[in-house]
Amino acid sequence: MRDIALILHVVAGLVGVVFGPLAVVVTLRVRRLNWAGEIFHWAVALICLTALVMVPYDWGRLWVFWPLSIAAYLFVWLGQRAAESTGELWYRGVLRGYGGSWIALWTAVLVVNVAGRPWSWPLPIVLGGAGIEWFSARGGRRFAGQP
| CB neighbour list of residue 28: distance below 8 Å, 6 or more residues apart | 91, 94, 95, 139, 143
Q: Which of 38, 97, 93, 35 lies closest to 72 in space, CA to CA?
A: 97
Q: What is the pLDDT of residue 120?
A: 80
pLDDT higher than 90, residue 5? yes
Is the pTM of the predicted complex or chain greater than 0.85? yes
Neighbours of 144 (CB within 10 A): 12
Q: What mean pLDDT is predicted for residues 82-103? A: 89
In this structure, are residues 79 and 94 in contact, taking their beta carbons and an 8 Å threshold?
yes
Percent of the chain with pLDDT over 90: 60
